[in-house]
Amino acid sequence: MKAGCSIVDKPEGGGGYHFPEWAYKTESSPGSRQIQLWHFILELLQKEEFRHVIAWQQGEYGEFVIKDPDEVARLWGRRKCKPQMNYDKLSRALRYYYNKRILHKTKGKRFTYKFNFNKLVMPNYPFINIRPNGVVPQSAPPVPTASSRFHFPPLEPHSPTEEGPGRFAAASLLPPHAEPALPDPERKAEPAELEESAADWRRELLAPPHAAAAAAGPKRKPEVVLPLFSRPGMFPEHPHSPFAVSPLPGRPGVLNVPISPALSLTPTLFSYSPSPGLSPFAAAGSSCFSFNPEEMKHYLHSQACSVFNYHLSPRTFPRYPLVVPPLQCPVPLEEQPQFPIKLQPPPAGRKNRERLESPEGGTNSGNSKPEPPRVKVEPAPDKEEEEAEKREEEEEEEEEEKAAVFARPAAPAWAPVPAQPGSSGEENVEKQARDCPGDAAAQERREDALMPPKLRLKRRWNGDSRQEMPEEPRPNGIWHLPKAVAAASDT
């Protein structure tokens, strides 16, 4: 049944440029990560059309309620070409997000979940406002309103030669009036429909039944609607696609890496999130609303282009901290480290400090002893800290987070960065992103601390090592015994 489910091939890597695999894993790329559920949820949440299916919970930050589980499941199933999808399965996927701290359940409220916006989206969706009745219908976390008024400076477009279908056409940003009707829940996906490219799924989702039916015939060109954030002249060459121009400077036809502010919703990427020190919202955890206007400006700019792409790959942005569409991009892409993160020395966090005997502990290529057991033998976690974290979490979950999500105390090990005259904001931000991975790492450990040891183990075994597990030469496959390990740790 998958035959019909077309996916957009990943861009051909011409020009000899090689991008890391993850870079291709945009929403529509083949493979396991076409689109992530949380992402999809966010999209639905964003659209007025689906208000009756899923909607933000008024008054609860990041909380949403699935009003029609079956329909959501159906939409998800259609999106993923899983006709057998149902709420039971979908919710299972949702539950996996608990551990990742992307979501959690709102206890006692059926079909109600809550995004962990404070830690996740907040710093990455600076442009989304909660405007339940606004044009951006279903909103998102309440962020400083500056975001909504921000406008993009002209970007330097490169000429994308092969855009493929406008797979990320701005349909998700359609104004509510565009497609008011819900698709007929009964309507089955017909082959022709399934043949549609990823670009069409939105249209399909959004389209009223008759329109969708029409789509089954000769493919009519989707009416591309300008996104909210799009402005005339923004991308003169491709006025109707906000994604026509890659934020990545000058890489025509190679890869229009979608830059996404959504980014680090996966644990793996947490550490790469814009550091709190870099983001005005950074603070995600703490004094979120007191930010330096300059920083704000720079930050907004650096993320500007990501914004209308925010529903693209959540993986892109954080790893390309240096290639954000620049006011001025001093470092040519090819000179930038492809995997800047991996080059970063382990943060000097508490745990790492313990084991960091040598100051240069970052690269241990010469080390003959990888000492893998260290990871397996999870020492009893720091009780106090864990307790504290647990308390914090309980507070959050059980007290319905009456403590504002933003009020979370985060003791950053970094210092606020003075605006550097002479260097662009991006530069600043980016540099910090490079130089100060520690804070993110610290947060990582906090997150880990929040987690039961078993889960922590799991995360690590799942490759979610991050700073906890420095890049070490590991014997092939030997460590890949997650279940065994989990079991072992259980007994």
* Rounded CA separation 112/264 (Å): 23
Stretch that binds DNA, among 102-110, 285-293, 362-370, 383-391 (CB under 7 A): 102-110
Of 216, 235, 213, the C-alpha closest to 224 is: 235
Stretch that binds DNA, among 96-104, 278-286, 292-300, 324-332 (CB under 7 A): 96-104
- Which two structure tokens, joined as six digits, stand for 2? 């998958």
Q: Sheet harboring 54-56: ordered strands across?
A: 54-56, 63-66, 112-115, 103-105
User: Taking CB under 7 A as the rule, does residue 82 contact DNA?
Assistant: yes
User: Taking CB under 7 A as the rule, does residue 486 contact DNA?
Assistant: yes
Going by their DSSP bridges, the two strands 63-66 and 54-56 should be labelled as antiparallel
Of 16, 58, 59, 84, the one binding DNA (CB under 7 A) is 84
Stretch that binds DNA, among 76-84, 192-200, 291-299, 386-394 (CB under 7 A): 76-84
User: Taking CB under 7 A as the rule, does residue 110 contact DNA?
Assistant: yes
Going by their DSSP bridges, the two strands 63-66 and 103-105 should be labelled as unpaired
The neighbouring-strand residues paired with 113 are: 64, 105
Of 260, 246, 199, 241, the C-alpha closest to 22 is: 260
* Rounded CA separation 186/258 (Å): 34
At its nearest, how many Å lie between DNA and the CB of residue 60? 14
User: Taking CB under 7 A as the rule, does residue 90 contact DNA?
Assistant: yes
Stretch that binds DNA, among 78-86, 158-166, 319-327, 331-339 (CB under 7 A): 78-86
Nearer to DNA, 36 or 443 (CB): 36
Return contacts of 212-216, CB within 8 angstroms, 24+ apart.
212/183, 212/184, 212/187, 213/187, 216/190, 216/192
Nearer to DNA, 431 or 458 (CB): 458
Size of residue set near DNA by CB under 7 A: 41
User: Taking CB under 7 A as the rule, does residue 36 contact DNA?
Assistant: yes
At its nearest, how many Å lie between DNA and the CB of residue 77? 7
* Rounded CA separation 284/306 (Å): 18
Spatial contact of 1 and 81, defined as CB atoms under 8 Å apart: yes
At its nearest, how many Å lie between DNA and the CB of residue 7? 9
- Which two structure tokens, joined as six digits, stand for 372? 């893998």
At its nearest, how many Å lie between DNA and the CB of residue 172? 17
At its nearest, how many Å lie between DNA and the CB of residue 269? 8
User: Taking CB under 7 A as the rule, does residue 374 contact DNA?
Assistant: no
Stretch that binds DNA, among 109-117, 213-221, 286-294, 325-333 (CB under 7 A): 109-117
User: Taking CB under 7 A as the rule, does residue 98 contact DNA?
Assistant: yes
Of 42, 44, 45, 85, the one binding DNA (CB under 7 A) is 85
Stretch that binds DNA, among 25-33, 154-162, 187-195, 439-447 (CB under 7 A): 25-33
Nearer to DNA, 80 or 474 (CB): 80
Of 111, 253, 294, 400, the one binding DNA (CB under 7 A) is 111
Nearer to DNA, 87 or 414 (CB): 87
User: Taking CB under 7 A as the rule, does residue 474 contact DNA?
Assistant: no
DSSP code, position 29: S
User: Taking CB under 7 A as the rule, does residue 266 contact DNA?
Assistant: yes
User: Taking CB under 7 A as the rule, does residue 146 contact DNA?
Assistant: no
* Rounded CA separation 441/437 (Å): 6
User: Taking CB under 7 A as the rule, does residue 57 contact DNA?
Assistant: no
- Which two structure tokens, joined as six digits, stand for 122? 């907040």
Of 353, 463, 473, 488, the one binding DNA (CB under 7 A) is 463
At its nearest, how many Å lie between DNA and the CB of residue 274? 18
- Whose structure tokens read 């493919």? 219
Nearer to DNA, 262 or 296 (CB): 262
Nearer to DNA, 189 or 228 (CB): 189
Q: Where are the beta strands (DSSP E) in 402-455?
A: none
* Rounded CA separation 464/15 (Å): 32
User: Taking CB under 7 A as the rule, does residue 105 contact DNA?
Assistant: yes
- Whose structure tokens read 């890869």? 255
- Which two structure tokens, joined as six digits, stand for 72? 């959501």
Half-sphere exposure of 398 (CA within 13 A, CB side): 6
Of 27, 183, 204, 2, the C-alpha closest to 83 is: 2
Spatial contact of 113 and 94, defined as CB atoms under 8 Å apart: yes
Stretch that binds DNA, among 77-85, 192-200, 232-240, 274-282 (CB under 7 A): 77-85
At its nearest, how many Å lie between DNA and the CB of residue 455? 8
Of 417, 475, 274, 442, the C-alpha closest to 347 is: 442
Q: Would you list the DSSP string of 128-144?
A: ----TTSSS-S--S---
| Binding residues vs DNA (CB under 7 A) | 2, 30-33, 35-38, 76-77, 80, 82, 84-85, 88-93, 95-96, 98, 100, 105, 107, 109-112, 266-268, 454, 462-464, 483, 486-487
